[in-house]
Amino acid sequence: MKLHKILISFLLLISAGVFAQNASNPWQISLGLTMPSISDDIVTRGSTVSSNDLSGSLGAPSLMLYRRITGGLSVGGQLSLGKIKNDAAGGQDFDFYSTHVGLKYGFSTDNSFSPYLKAGVYGTTSLKDGTESFSKFTDYSNFGAVGFDLALGENFGAFAEFQFAKINENPEVSYSLISLGVSYGFGSGDSDKDGVNDKKDKCPDVPGLKEFEGCPDTDGDGIQDGEDNCPEEAGSVENNGCPDSDGDGVVDKDDECPETAGVAELGGCPDADGDGIKDSDDECPDEAGTEATMGCPDSDGDGVADKDDKCPNEAGTTDDGCPEVKEEVLSALNTAGINILFPADGYKLMGSKVMNALEEVKSILMANPNGVVLIQGHASEDGGASYNMTLSRKRAEAVKTKLVELGVDPSRLEVEAYGETKPKGDNSTSVGRANSRRVEFTGK
């Protein structure tokens, strides 16, 4: 009678505590057949009963009640009754009782087959030989068990379990229990404690919101995490939950320029001139250009940007974007330029012969409008080298100025000074020195 009172009190205690927390919790009740088995000799009333003479029989009842706490972990208790048959001559059979509390951990609890482990303490264990002279209760002995649950439907299942324990004193006996039976699961728990029971909770292991059927919305943007491409940053439905700070339709995580509105084709970066090159890579962001010229316009298509092209309207072959002057043109210019000579210490253009030569040079240039011509100024060896370098530059500049006055495009003319470094003829003679005071024409 005492045993039954203890068991009932234990079950009421667990039930009251659990249901006080939540009226809807996962439970499993199991009913089975148990066969106890004694491993040690029993000393009773001065005599010893050999374990070889003791045998259990499958058929005595077993009742288990467990409640899942979280994941595969459950807590509960068990009542087991049984009969140990004493085969010794004149011996009496033993009645077996045990109650326990313990923890149960199930593996693969979401599958139909789930092995489990148990461990805990016995509340009471009793071996009774049918007389009042021998009856022993042992408090809080440890036990361990291994078994499996087999689901047979949504609520029903079967189980099998092997359990090992020990009575610690009078008599000191090791024993085991084999239990087989059926189980019934009921209740719909709330594993993540979010107020949505597990049967309705689409995210039962993570606290969530009722409006999302128990799934979380970490960033609070009204889009549940499972459908939110940026679950930790508040965004919009249109962007699948991701933010778009500059409002250009490219979400921040994919936007190379998240603070400046741009175009999707350029990773969210702006392209002010619409030439397909983002402004940060465009050397001319306000003028449409080409990729080859780093976003700058190239009017003549020669691969040299207009800003660097000295002949922006003529396709050229030189680094400055100008076409090369043909050799025959240069030859004609130098033939005419033979007559452009200067006084010993001067750079002024004087005399009809010089003026006629300049007119001829102008005509050749006007007839051949392509290319840049370099006007090279020279000096004789009269005077110092530095003075002559300056003087030769002034002579080249004087020729350029006159040709521009005559109508030649100034962008086609450049000057260069050589001083006395390239004399023409023998500078020890007056004729040689005169011939050295000259200009020559070459291409760039």
pLDDT at 89: 52
pLDDT at 8: 38
Confidence of residue 383 (pLDDT cuts 50, 70, 90): confident
Long-range Cβ contact pairs of 142-146 (< 8 A, separation 24 or more): 142/166, 143/100, 143/102, 143/118, 143/119, 144/117, 144/118, 144/119, 145/102, 145/117, 145/118, 145/119, 145/177, 146/115, 146/116, 146/117, 146/118
Contact at 8 Å (CB) between 404 and 413? yes
Of these ranges, 86-90, 168-172, 317-321, 418-422, the one predicted with the greatest mean pLDDT is: 418-422
266-278 tens-digit pLDDT:
999 999 999 999 9
Give the rounded percent of residues in the chain with a pLDDT score beyond 90.
Answer: 49
Confidence of residue 401 (pLDDT cuts 50, 70, 90): very high
Contact at 8 Å (CB) between 182 and 31? yes
111-137 tens-digit pLDDT:
889 999 999 887 666 666 655 434 444
Q: Which residues pair with 49 in a beta bridge?
A: 42
24 or 62, greater pLDDT:
62
Q: Which two tokens stand for residue 374?
A: 């370099």
Three-state SS for 88? coil
Q: Stretch 391-419: mean pLDDT, rounded?
A: 95
Long-range Cβ contact pairs of 432-437 (< 8 A, separation 24 or more): 432/380, 433/344, 433/380, 433/381, 433/382, 434/341, 434/344, 434/380, 435/341, 436/378, 436/379, 436/380, 436/381, 437/341, 437/342, 437/343, 437/344, 437/378, 437/379, 437/380, 437/395
Q: Which two tokens stand for residue 389?
A: 């370098």
Give the contacts of 298 (CB within 8 A, at least 6 positions apart): 289, 290, 292, 304, 305, 306, 309
364-379 tens-digit pLDDT:
999 998 888 999 999 9
Confidence of residue 1 (pLDDT cuts 50, 70, 90): very low
Lowest-pLDDT range, 152-166, 168-182, 249-263, 363-377? 168-182
Contact at 8 Å (CB) between 197 and 189? yes
pLDDT at 9: 41
Domains observed in the chain: 27-186 (2.40.160.20), 271-317 (no CATH), 327-443 (3.30.1330.60)
Confidence of residue 36 (pLDDT cuts 50, 70, 90): confident
Q: How far apart are the first and last CA of the chain?
A: 120
282-321 tens-digit pLDDT:
999 999 999 889 999 998 888 888 888 878 887 877 777 8
pLDDT at 15: 36
Q: What is the mean pLDDT of the chain?
A: 83
